[in-house]
Amino acid sequence: MRHTLQREVAELSNADVEWDGNWLGLWPNISHQAEAIRATGVAARPFLRKALADPQRYIAAHVLLTMMSETPFCLSGEAFNGLKVNLYADGRTEIADQRGELQK
């Protein structure tokens, strides 16, 4: 199972997260693959922490780690637990590279 989970996290990408906004703030919609990883819980955390350093996976890893956390987190129209996300009316989403700030 551990090797399978490690492979699943290795196949995870930032494209597994789509962003939406509502009156509470930003909310990520995750793919079925990402949901399966989230459902494994604690076992996925070491692999997701390593993925935080990868520019192609850090957003998805941050979102999943946040969703797995039992600690309350900041939710706003500008950021999801510290990850700044720009949503535009035309459907575009822009997220600057924030790996250094999220790994602190």
* pLDDT tens digits, 72-93: 887 788 899 999 999 988 888 9
Check: CB of residue 11 under 8 Å from CB of residue 58: no
Q: Can you give 42-86 as a three-state secondary structure string?
A: HHHHHHHHHHCCCCCCHHHHHHHHHHHCCCCCCECCCEECCEECE
Strand-pair partners of 87: 93
104 pLDDT higher than 80: no
- Supply the pLDDT for residue 21: 85
Number of domains in the chain: 1
Check: CB of residue 55 under 8 Å from CB of residue 99: yes
Top-confidence residue, 78 or 45: 45
pLDDT band at 2 (very low <50, low <70, confident <90, very high): low
pLDDT band at 13 (very low <50, low <70, confident <90, very high): very high
Task: Identify whether 101 is part of a domain.
Answer: no
Task: Identify whether 76 is part of a domain.
Answer: yes
Task: Identify whether 104 is part of a domain.
Answer: no
Task: Identify whether 103 is part of a domain.
Answer: no
Domain that holds residue 51: 2-96
User: What secondary structure letter does DSSP report for 77?
Assistant: S
Task: Identify whether 53 is part of a domain.
Answer: yes
